Structure 1
Amino acid sequence: MSPADAVDPAGRVLLVTGTSSGIGLATAVAAARAGYTTVATLRDPARAGALRAAAEAAGVTVDVRRLDVTDPGSVTDCLAAVRHAYGRLDALVNNAGVANSDPTLEMSTDAALRANLEVNFFGVATVSRAALPLLRAAGGRLVTVGSVHGVVGQPFNEAYCAAKFAVEGFLEALAPVAAAHGVRVSVVVPGFVPDTRFGIFPDVDRTTLRAASGPYAPTFTDYLDRLGAGWESAGQPAHEVAEVVVRTLRARRPPFRVPAGAWAADYLAAKLADPDGSTVQALARGWLGRPPS
């Protein structure tokens, strides 16, 4: 990215959600290293040890604050505190999320489905809504970490895919309206990131999942056996995704959809004829009576 095409981060305030590990942690550190004043939020600040250690190792400072994306009061309080401390907010990265933990819809519950949507979709909507007045005032950026499974459905991940599909549609609809008021909206789309807590049913023993999958156990076993090697070869580390997020934040005219790597771009292209979202965004801007910028 040439200097003419990049936004100078100096003096700009960025808030990142879900920074206790993985992409969120890496993004907070990478953004601070790039020059952003970085507010790194997480549900439980007691879990900020790895974040603080990574920031110290990188020689940067991050402002660690509590923010629970499922608690509107927590979101409001955090945004008010940021406004009081800095007087502005130039960028938001929605990263907080949870993985799927049920093998299939029939063996799951409404409560489990709603809990996944509460974090992965409603959390994004709640934080974005609270941040937009500040972002409008700053002519800022709203970047969300999505997933290839928000575009291509993954078997045995119905709840997670439902939430990520909802995020894609929500932000695709929001983006042209926000742009008309000075806020650029983008979704960074990683594939499989092995060094995060997100993988193929992370944090849950696969034997337990097979036992819980009832009549679907043979299909689920075949799926796991065939999928593992393919995902491992497609993996990219969290710090690479973080660098894509920071480049997107700094771009003067970022696309709506930003694949985090070549594998993700190819995977999305299998379904999308418009992989970076430019055609859809241009169409929507036309509906608003605004030419492509």
Structure 2
Amino acid sequence: MKKIALVTGTSSGIGLSTALALAKAGFTVVATMRNLDKAGALQQAAQAQGLALELQQMDVQDQASVSACVQRVIQTHGQIDVLVNNAGSGFLGAMEETGIGDLQQVMDVNFYGVWRVTQAVFPHMRAAGAGRILSVSSVGGLIGQPFNDAYCAAKFAVEGFMESLAPVAQRFGIKIALIEPGPVHSEFVASVQEKVHSQANQLEAYAAMRAAYLEGAAQAFASIGQSPDQIAQLIVDAATTAGMHLRYPSSEVMRGLISRKYVDPNGDSILSLNGARLPATCGG
């Protein structure tokens, strides 16, 4: 019997690539997205590769939508073997420029959404005595990034949630993993960059630092950026390996950054690392 994989946020980027990669690996994939009108790219890619996918509507910000989708999958397939929490939303801006509404939106998609879907799926995995929950985090879930205050807060929350849940889940036969990409070339990134350039409430005091950060980020994407397909393969590995780890950094560069934090109990080296990406003075 084929294993059932439920993947959130599959209209583009990592989610789209993951749905295809899991289908190639032999899973029956239930690919979800908030707006099924945006399923064209996924459907075309699946058709071109001769893959069958089941599309379902799910808005991770809507409890009723999450519950209804999970129930449909259980009624149709009787089980969910792998959950991939991928749906996410980025935000780039200084803390002073970030309204509570912006913060709530970022937290709702990136953290509360993960909580809602995990909470809906978990009882079924617990009853089955097996399952895997893979959540797409970020290097920004382990190391704070300038001008990513809201986004990093949400991803830090995901890391804490999953790290706390993992030993409890393990007692029920459920394995937990965090997928931790660095820079990834995707529509997600393009959307964030478009938003930051169109923000109307940017403060001049941050202009020089923001420009320096964006320039450095562009260089990072050019030099170490990965493709959604590379992250998708990492997710397939975590979904299928016998000895699954808690954390899956997406590259040796990310592994090096993470190991730097974990051997630095006072945090000074991370503060220095991030500070080196900004001008020495605020310029205002």
TM-score (norm 1): 0.86
**DSSP-derived class of the 2:262 partner:** coil
**Which AA in structure 2 matches 1:13?**
I
**Which AA in structure 2 matches 1:91?**
V
Say which of 260, 265, 283 aligns to 2:250. Answer: 260
Preserved contact between residue 192 and residue 199 of structure 1 (Cα < 8 Å): no
Say which of 102, 119, 122 aligns to 1:112. Answer: 102
**DSSP-derived class of the 1:197 partner:** helix
**Which AA in structure 1 matches 2:249?**
P
2:227 aligned partner: 237
1:148 equivalenced with 2:139 (yes/no): yes
**Matches of 1:228 and 1:185, distance apart in 2:** 32
**DSSP-derived class of the 1:202 partner:** helix
**Which AA in structure 2 matches 1:213?**
L
**Matches of 2:89 and 2:210, distance apart in 1:** 21
Q: How does 1:123-138 map to 2 (within 5 A)?
A: 123-138=113-128
Alpha carbon RMSD of aligned pairs, Å?
1.7
How far 1:266 sits from its partner (Å)?
Answer: 1.6
**DSSP-derived class of the 1:143 partner:** strand
How far 1:196 sits from its partner (Å)?
Answer: 3.6
**Matches of 2:190 and 2:149, distance apart in 1:** 15
Superposed CA offset, 1:165-219 (max 9, x none): 000001000000000111000001111001342269333263x459723321122
Preserved contact between residue 211 and residue 217 of structure 1 (Cα < 8 Å): no
Preserved contact between residue 107 and residue 214 of structure 1 (Cα < 8 Å): no
1:173 aligned partner: 164
1:218 aligned partner: 208
1:183 equivalenced with 2:174 (yes/no): yes
**Matches of 1:210 and 1:270, distance apart in 2:** 37
Preserved contact between residue 5 and residue 29 of structure 2 (Cα < 8 Å): yes
1:43 equivalenced with 2:34 (yes/no): yes
Bigger mean CA deviation after superposition, 21-30 or 209-218: 209-218
How far 1:231 sits from its partner (Å)?
Answer: 3.1
The unaligned stretches of length 5 or more in structure 1 are 1-9, 275-293
How far 1:226 sits from its partner (Å)?
Answer: 3.2
The unaligned stretches of length 5 or more in structure 2 are 265-284
Distance 1:273 1:246, change over 3 A: farther
Equivalences, count: 263
Q: How does 1:28-39 map to 2 (within 5 A)?
A: 28-39=19-30
Say which of 60, 69, 81 aligns to 2:72. Answer: 81
Preserved contact between residue 93 and residue 143 of structure 1 (Cα < 8 Å): yes
2:273 aligned partner: none
1:13 equivalenced with 2:4 (yes/no): yes
1:202 aligned partner: 193
Distance 1:226 1:210, change over 3 A: farther
1:6 aligned partner: none
